[in-house]
Structure 1
Amino acid sequence: MASDSRRRYVCNLSERSKEKARLELNEDPETRDQKIDELRAKFAKEKPEVKLPPDDAFLVRYLRNKKFDVQRAYDMLLHYYDVRRKYKELFVNYQPSLYKHIYETDMMTICPERDKEGRTVILFRIGKWDPDRYSSDSVLTAFLMTYDKLLEDEELQVNGIVFVQDLEGMSLKMMTKMKPSDSKRSMDLFVNAIPLRFKAAHYVRQPEIFATVFAMSKPLMPEKMMKRLHFHGKEYGTLHDHVPSAILTSDFGGQLVNYDSQDWFEELCKEDRKFEEYNQYGFPKDSETLGGVSQGADPVGGLAGSFRKLET
C-alpha cells in the first residue's frame, strides 16, 4: 500500500543542467517549491477526486516540461490521468516483469552515453517486432513503462530525448496488426500526456511502405515536432552528423559492438511494486480498471476473455 506522506523534492541536477533548466525551463530554486505547492493546491481545488502521488519529484517532471507554467503543467498531468482511463487497455497489466519477453527482443536500446547536448539517445528496431507473438498494445505498454522509468532521470527531464529508429523489416503484415486508432493514441500519449522533451527523431533504412505509415501520423504531429524529424535512408554518415557514432551500436553504424540494454531492462523488471504503487493514483478506479493482472488478459500475446469488460 502506498504511503500518503508527502515527500519533498530534492534537486539532483548537475550544475550544467541546473543552468539549462534556469535558461530554458524557467526553473528557479527559490520559487520551485512554491510552484509545486500551487500545482497541488490547484488539483485540490479543481479536481479533488484526483489522487496525486506523494512524491513532489513526480510533479516536477510536469512543471519542467511546461516551463514552470502551473496551468499548463496542471493540464498535462490531468490529461495523463485522463488517458489512463481513456486507453485503459494499455494500463491493465502495468507491471514491467510481465513484458520481459518484449524487452528481451532488443527492439529498444538505451545508449550508455548521452550526446554532446546531454540528451539521452534511444534506439528502436521495428524489425525485431514479431506481430504474431506480440500485439501492438503490448509493445506500446512495454515502451510506456520504459519511458516512466527513464523519466526518473532528472538530467533526461531537462536535456530531453533523441530517438533513432531503424525501419528495416517494416512490413505490410505489421501494418495489418495495428489498429486504425494506434497512431492517434500514440501521439496523444507521447505528445500530450507524457512529459518527455522530444528533441529529435532520426529514421534510417526506411522502406517504401513507410511513406504510407508516415502519412497517417503526419497530420497528428505538431509543426514543432515535424521540424525535428530527419530521414537518412542508408546514409549513416548523415545520421552521425547529428548523433555521434561513438555512442551508437554497430547496427546503426556506430562503434559499440555487442552492446545492449538488457541489464537496464532487468532492473526495470524488478520494479513491479513501484508501478503498482503509482497505479493507485489519478482518478478513482476499481480493481478491474488499473493495477494488477486482469484475468483473461495476455500481456504479451493479445487480449482475450474477461478483458472485454474493460471496453464497455
Structure 2
Amino acid sequence: MADYESLDVHSHLLGPEESWFPGPPPPLYTCTLSPALEAKARDELQEKPEWRLRDVQALRDMILKEQPNLHTRLDDAFLLRFLRARKFDYDRALQLLLKYHGGRRAWPEVFSDLKPSSVKHVLDLGFLTVLPRPDPHGRYILCLRPGRWKPNDYPFVDNVRALYLTLEKLIQPEVVQVNGIVILADYSGVGMSQASNPGPFLAKKVVSILQDGFPIRIKAVNIINEPRIFKGIFAIIKPFLKEKMAERYVLHGSDLRSLHSHVPGSVLPPVYGGTAADLDLSAWAALLLRSEEEFIVEFCQPHPLEGAALPDSLLYDGDGTEEDGFRALRSQLYYCY
C-alpha cells in the first residue's frame, strides 16, 4: 500500500504553488523518510539508517582519494542518490557518479547551458509532464506524449533536454529515490516522421545515459495508443534493453481497462479514463521554470570533469554511425532493481 503520509514531509520546504510535489531534503541533511519508507529502503536498497551517513562519508572519501579533480557535489543528499541507486555498493555508486558526469561531457548539445527556460517550448507543447498524484506504491508518473512533437517544430535533442531536467527534478525528493517512478507513454499521433527520429544512434545515447548514468529507478513503462508503426520504434529501442527492463514494458493499445490494471484510474486524468483532475500541463512546467536558478548553478558552470582523467570505460562513445548503433552494446534502458 502507498505510504501517503511520507509524501507530505517536505511541505514545510515548499511554497503553496509547489506543495503538490515533495521538495528535496534540507541543506543540512536530515532524513525525511517516514518509518515505513525507511523500512522499504532497508529491504530493497540495503539502506541501514544507523549507517547511512557513515556510508555517505565512505563514498565521499573514495571520490576525494580516487578522483581528486572531479569537481562534483559532495553533500550528503546528493551522494545518497547514487548510493540508493546502487544498493549502497560504494564501488558501483562511484561508477554511476562518474558515468553521470561522463554523459554530460560526451553530449554537450544536451547538457550545455541546460536550464528550464531553454526548453520552455517543449514544456509548452506538452511533450512531457508529471501527474500530481503518485500511484498506490508511491511512485510518481512521468507522462510522455511524443505525438505532440513534429520534426519541423524543433530538434529532437530539445526533448532530451526537457526529459533530463524533469528527471533531475524528480530525483530530488527522497521518496522518489526509494519508490522509483513509472512512465506512461501515450503514442497518439505518432507517425512515420516521428518514428524516424531519433534513429538508433541517438536512441543508443539516450538509453546509455539513462541506464548507466542517472540515479533513478524506472519501475514500469506503460505504452498506450501505440500505432502499428510502434513495432519499428520498439525495434530501435529493444537492442539496448536487458531482459529485466524489457519485461517492464507493457503495451496496452487503446484498452484503458488494461492500463488501469497497472495504473489505477484514481491517479489518472479523464483523458486516460481516470477520475483524477484534468491533465494539467502547466503545473510541472511552472515548477521547473521556478527552479531556473537552481539549474543554472548545477549545469551552467565549468564542467565537473574538466581536468579529471577517466578510463575509456567510463566515457560514452560519441562517435559512430546509425549502423554502429545497432551493433553496439546491448544494454538496458536503466539499471534498476
How high is the TM-score relative to the length of structure 2?
Answer: 0.79
The amino acid that maps onto 1:162 is V
Cα distance between partner residues in 1 of 2:90 and 2:99: 14
User: What's 1:205 paired with?
Assistant: 225
* 1:263 equivalent in alignment to 2:277: no
User: What's 2:211 paired with?
Assistant: 191
User: What's 1:291 paired with?
Assistant: none
User: What's 2:77 paired with?
Assistant: 57
Cα distance between partner residues in 2 of 1:9 and 1:169: 45
Unaligned runs of 5+ in 2: 1-26, 308-337
* 1:127 equivalent in alignment to 2:137: no
* Matching residue within 113, 131, 151 for 1:111: 131
Cα distance between partner residues in 1 of 2:200 and 2:250: 25
SS at match of 1:181: helix
Report the alpha carbon displacement of residue 9 of structure 1 after superposing the two structures with TM: 2.5
User: What's 2:234 paired with?
Assistant: 214
Cα distance between partner residues in 2 of 1:108 and 1:138: 12
- How many residues end up aligned between the 2 structures? 279
User: What's 2:96 paired with?
Assistant: 76
Cα distance between partner residues in 2 of 1:261 and 1:188: 28
Structure 1 residues 28-43: aligned runs within 5 Å:
28-43=48-63
Cα distance between partner residues in 2 of 1:272 and 1:50: 24
User: What's 1:25 paired with?
Assistant: 45
User: What's 2:306 paired with?
Assistant: 284
Specify whether residues 177 and 242 from structure 1 end up closer, same or farther in structure 2 by C-alpha distance, changes over 3 A only.
closer
Cα distance between partner residues in 2 of 1:65 and 1:130: 34
- Range with greater deviation from structure 2 (179-188 or 158-167): 179-188
The amino acid that maps onto 1:262 is S
User: What's 1:252 paired with?
Assistant: 272
1:89-126 deviation per Cα after TM superposition (whole angstroms, max 9, x unaligned):
10113011121121111222211111111111121111
- CA RMSD across the alignment: 1.5
SS at match of 2:143: strand
Cα distance between partner residues in 2 of 1:102 and 1:94: 13
1:64-96 deviation per Cα after TM superposition (whole angstroms, max 9, x unaligned):
011111111000010110111111110113011
The amino acid that maps onto 1:230 is V
1:191-239 deviation per Cα after TM superposition (whole angstroms, max 9, x unaligned):
1111111100111111111101111111101211011111111111011
- Range with greater deviation from structure 2 (249-258 or 21-30): 249-258
User: What's 2:333 paired with?
Assistant: none
Cα distance between partner residues in 2 of 1:208 and 1:100: 31
How high is the TM-score relative to the length of structure 1?
Answer: 0.85
Cα distance between partner residues in 2 of 1:179 and 1:240: 31
Unaligned runs of 5+ in 1: 1-6, 286-312
1:266-300 deviation per Cα after TM superposition (whole angstroms, max 9, x unaligned):
12112222112223462127xxxxxxxxxxxxxxx
The amino acid that maps onto 2:46 is N
SS at match of 2:92: helix
Cα distance between partner residues in 2 of 1:249 and 1:109: 12
Contact 1:91 1:141 (C-alpha < 8 Å) held by counterparts = yes
The amino acid that maps onto 1:36 is V
Specify whether residues 160 and 247 from structure 1 end up closer, same or farther in structure 2 by C-alpha distance, changes over 3 A only.
same
Cα distance between partner residues in 2 of 1:55 and 1:264: 26
Specify whether residues 125 and 267 from structure 1 end up closer, same or farther in structure 2 by C-alpha distance, changes over 3 A only.
same
User: What's 2:4 paired with?
Assistant: none
Report the alpha carbon displacement of residue 167 of structure 1 after superposing the two structures with TM: 0.8
Contact 1:63 1:73 (C-alpha < 8 Å) held by counterparts = yes
Report the alpha carbon displacement of residue 54 of structure 1 after superposing the two structures with TM: 4.1
* 1:89 equivalent in alignment to 2:120: no
The amino acid that maps onto 2:288 is L
1:17-72 deviation per Cα after TM superposition (whole angstroms, max 9, x unaligned):
11100111111121111111111111111111111214320110110011111111
SS at match of 1:237: helix
- Range with greater deviation from structure 2 (140-149 or 162-171): 162-171
- Range with greater deviation from structure 2 (53-62 or 169-178): 169-178
The amino acid that maps onto 1:145 is L
* 1:176 equivalent in alignment to 2:196: yes
SS at match of 2:165: helix
